[in-house]
Amino acid sequence: MATMFSATGFCPSLILLVTILSVVIGSSFAGNFNDDVVVVFGDARARIQENGNLMSLALDNSSGSGFQSKNQFIYAKVEVNIKLVAGNSAGTVTSFYLKSEGNAWDEIDMEFLGNTSGDPYVLHTNIFTKGMGNREQQFYLWFDPTTDFHTYSITWNPAHIVLVVDKKPIREYRNLDSNNNVPYPRDQPMKLYGSLWNADDWATRGGSVKTDWSKAPFTASFKTYTADGCVYGNGASSCPDKTAPWYSSKQIGGDDLKQMQWVQKNYMIYNYCDDVNRFHGSLPAECGRKK
């Protein structure tokens, strides 16, 4: 019978087993597009380059393209660098989001709505719980997102969801469900998705500006993504380190709060919590007030 330990006092097989278990139980890793995602639509329009460090997505008048992570998580911080479609991108949507399966799904969205040349992108954010969204906040960006890669992240933990752009928090959605009857995604595992697709029925100026297919193929690039999360498998999830800052944080404060307030004051262009008419005078509970 083969021994578990080598003459040097350690066993390569045992080390491999520990490594595998660490991935199954929980993960903190720099993702590789070759190993960690699968293309879910678009076929060759989704191209993996640079030894798995870059995913290029294309959209033409036949199809867009997209990928999803192999792992699914209950709570995670995911981060990726994205360079958006340049030039006339009207009608196109580049998406980076977490989503569960089923008809009563949970979802955390960052969607970049294209525009005509010279007009700014709109970052459209939304949070779905049990298939219900209607929690949109929209922003302009304070830079040109098409000339270089910029960093976007989603943190989802038991206390709150935080969306971040280039290290600046732009949105926080807190878990107030225990005392205010505010729905919060907590028990459905979600996968990471990236996609580029046509949505010219609504994406640009409410659908009044259509995609100019003479500019196709449109291309967006995803690079250097990381996932730090509680991997779900066999009916349960386990977190390797609940003291990690992304998991243990409870509420935005300090400099992060000041940065979020700056972004929302200067670049937010729509907030569902201000749209009294939409909700017939009674805002959702998480908005903190009734009108």
Q: Residue type for 265, please?
A: K
Percent of the chain with pLDDT over 90: 81
Residues 160-185 have a mean pLDDT of: 92
Q: How confident is the model at residue 281 (pLDDT cuts 50, 70, 90)?
A: confident
Angle at 147 between CA 141 and CA 148, to 5 degrees: 85
pLDDT average, residue stretch 152-162: 98
Q: Is the pLDDT assigned to residue 166 strictly greater than 90?
A: yes
The whole-number pLDDT of residue 179 equals 66
Task: Report strand pairing: 107-113 vs 122-128.
Answer: antiparallel
* 201 pLDDT more than 60: yes
pLDDT score at 27: 52
For every residue of the chain, DSSP letters joined together read ---SS-TTS--HHHHHHHHHHHHHH-EEEE--HHHHEEEEESGGGEEEEGGGTEEEEEE-SS--EEEEESS-EEEEEEEEEEEPPPS--TTEEEEEEEE--SSS--EEEEEEE--STTSPPEEEEEEEBTTB----EEEE-SS-TTSS-EEEEEEE-SSEEEEEETTEEEEEEE--HHHH------SS-BEEEEEEEE-TTTTTGGGTS---GGGPSEEEEEEEEEEEEEEEETTEE--S-TTSHHHH--S--HHHHHHHHHHHHHHEEEEGGG-TTTTTT---GGGS---
Report the range of poorest mean pLDDT among 7-21, 149-163, 245-259: 7-21
Find the mean pLDDT for residues 202-218.
96
pLDDT attached to residue 16 = 39
Residue 172 is a catalytic residue: no
Q: How far apart are CA 231 and CA 161, in angstroms?
A: 17
Residue 153, both tokens: 């992240």
Domain positions in the chain are: 26-287
Tokens 């996968």 sit on residue: 191
- Over residues 204-211, the mean pLDDT reads 95
What pLDDT shows up at residue 107? 99
Catalytic-labelled residue, pool 50, 79, 101, 107? 107
Place of tokens 């498998």: 233
Q: Is the pLDDT of residue 5 over 70?
A: no
For all residues of the chain together, what is the average pLDDT?
Answer: 90
pLDDT digits (tens, 9 = 90+) for 28-72: 567 899 999 999 999 999 999 999 999 999 999 999 999 999 999
The active-site residue out of 50, 101, 111, 286 is 111
pLDDT reported for residue 98 = 99
- Judge whether residue 93 has pLDDT over 60: yes
Q: pLDDT > 70: what percent of the chain?
A: 88
- Fold held by 26-287: Jelly Rolls (2.60.120)
Give the whole-angstrom CA distance, residue 220 versus residue 148. Answer: 11
Q: Is 107 a catalytic residue?
A: yes
Res 118 pLDDT > 80: yes
Nearest to 75 by CA among 182, 155, 165: 155
pLDDT surpasses 70 at 23: no
| Cα–Cα dist 68/43, whole Å | 13
